Amino acid sequence: MVHRRKFIQASALGSLGMFFSKMTAGQSADTPVKGKPIVISTWDAGLEANKAAWEILGKGGRALDAVEKGVMVTENSQNCCVGLGANPDRDGFVTLDACIMDEFSNCGSVAFLERIKHPISVARRVMEKTPHVMLVGSGAQQFAVAEGFPLEEQKLSPDAQRAYEDWLKKSEYKGPAINVENKGHGPFAPTKLDSGEWNHDTIGMVAMDTQGNFSGSCTTSGAGFKMRGRLGDSPIIGAGLFVDNEVGACTATGQGEDVIRVAGSHSVVELMRQGLSPEMACKKIIERIVRIKKEKAKDIQVAFLAINKKGIPGAFALHPGFSYALKTGEREVLVKAKSYY
């Protein structure tokens, strides 16, 4: 109910837009809005994640710390799609992917990571303590343990256990079916689609701090019942997340395979560099996916959300049902994104 009260439609974004244009009056297109932090993140669960991020942003802290702490809330929760209790792969193992990027274009990533509670923090350690950007599988786990992260026992949440047992009855691998429509249970409750498949998703978060600096984070268990070893967009810098401190930041959610093939988040940032608004940049890349996928675009969900250097947020999805959580000093809302269909 809390979510419903705070929910606003994209069509009501006029007032939000006015709010942001007032906020930015007198600023040139490239001028960072110092002193006015903002954080946005994917789906309903973003509301709680944003609160944790705000504990840092609201006190003048760095966006990097905010986006790590924010998505840790979702990694801690027992939902279908993020963290150790999430939907497993088709062999019954939960494998986690995450990445993080800061205002200096430093970035770190882990993928196919098992039995570690906070992949986003391991991704940050990869960024800060290794000469590499990406560690995967047993190597990522070995690094995490060496860094002091405890090796946890895998324990599926009751919903994930139920969903997996249900899936095992047929064990049909059809590829990911991802949030074609949020049927009211929230994206982090395993939702059985009419097709009989189960949805999944991700938390992606991007933030601008009081210094006008950007960072982003993205973390997921990937597609439920995926092939063992499958990676989506979420751990891939440029696909699930991209930050360019001169321009802004973008993150993605939905079917990772189709985000990767358009280098989604990077492409959105590049369109913002050319002067498009965040919403229009996200829309253009969704349209690019539709041109590639043609009729098959009807069966998948992809969404992008972005903030530009003026601190203006925007998003666009392939299908209705995608919402993002937004928090500033004045507003804390869930915004229903516009969509292609």
Q: How far is the CB of 168 from ligand GLY (least distance, A)?
A: 21
130 has catalytic annotation: no
- CA angle 20–240–115, rounded 5-degree value: 120
Nearer to ligand GLY, 187 or 254 (CB): 254
Contact between 202 and ligand GLY by CB under 6 A: the answer reads yes
Which one of residues 71, 96, 99, 223 is an interface residue with ligand GLY (CB under 6 A)?
Answer: 223
Nearer to ligand GLY by C-beta: 54 or 304? 304
The helix (H) or strand (E) run that includes residue 104 is: none
Distance CA 131, CA 140 (A): 14
For the bound state, the minimum distance from the C-beta of residue 30 to ligand GLY, rounded and expressed in Å, comes to 31
Among 253, 308, 323, 328, binds ligand GLY (CB under 6 A): 253
> Minimal CA–CA distance to 228: which of 117, 95, 110?
95
DSSP-assigned letters across all residues of 6-58: HEE-GGGHHHHHHHHHHHTTT--TT---TT--EEEEESTTHHHHHHHHHHHHT
**What is the rounded CA–CA span in Å between residue 140 and residue 188?**
26
Give the 3-state secondary structure of residue 271.
Answer: helix
- By beta-carbon proximity to ligand GLY, the closer residue of 111 and 312 is 111
Which among 35-43, 253-261, 262-270, 329-337 is the span making contact with ligand GLY, rule CB under 6 A? Answer: 253-261
Q: Could you say whether residue 187 binds ligand GLY (CB under 6 A)?
A: no
Give the neighbor-by-neighbor strand order of the sheet with 302-308. Answer: 241-244, 248-254, 302-308, 313-317
Q: Which of 42, 202, 251, 253 is catalytic?
A: 202
Q: 234, 245, 323, 328: which one contacts ligand GLY (CB under 6 A)?
A: 234
H or E element in which residue 157 lies: none
> Distance between CA atoms of 310 and 100, rounded to whole angstroms?
22
By the rule CB under 6 A, 265 interacts with ligand GLY: no
Q: How far is the CB of 32 from ligand GLY (least distance, A)?
A: 29
Whether residue 41 contacts residue 203, with contact meaning beta carbons closer than 8 Å, is answered with yes
Segment near ligand GLY (CB under 6 A); pick from 62-70, 184-192, 230-238, 327-335: 230-238
Tokens, residue 101: 């990027």
Helix (H/G/I), strand (E/B), else coil: 148? coil
**Least distance from ligand GLY to the Cβ atom of residue 301, Å:** 10
Nearest distance from residue 233's CB to ligand GLY, in Å? 5
328 belongs to the binding site for ligand GLY (CB under 6 A) = no
Exactly one of 88, 232, 314, 321 binds ligand GLY (CB under 6 A); that residue is: 232
Rounded to 5 degrees, what are φ and ψ at 153? -80, 140
Q: Does 219 bind ligand GLY (CB under 6 A)?
A: no
**What 3-state DSSP class applies to 330?**
coil
Q: Is 254 in the site for ligand GLY (CB under 6 A)?
A: yes
The SS3 call for residue 173 is: coil
- Compare residues 16 and 111 and give the one whose CB is closer to ligand GLY: 111
Q: 301 near 315, Cβ under 8 Å?
A: no
**Piece in contact with ligand GLY (CB under 6 A), picked from 122-130, 183-191, 216-224, 285-293:** 216-224
- Asked if residue 95 binds ligand GLY (CB under 6 A), the reply is no
> CB of residue 81 vs ligand GLY: minimum separation in angstroms?
8
Is 311 a binding residue for ligand GLY by CB under 6 A? The answer is: no
Beta carbon of residue 241, minimum distance to ligand GLY (angstroms, whole number): 11
> In sequence order, which residues have a C-beta less than 8 Å from that of residue 289 and are 6 or more positions away?
258, 261, 262, 264, 297, 302, 318
Q: Would you state the structure tokens that stand for residue 168, as one six-digit string? A: 């095992």
The catalytic residue positions are 202
Residues that bind ligand GLY (CB under 6 A): 202, 220, 222-223, 232-234, 253-256
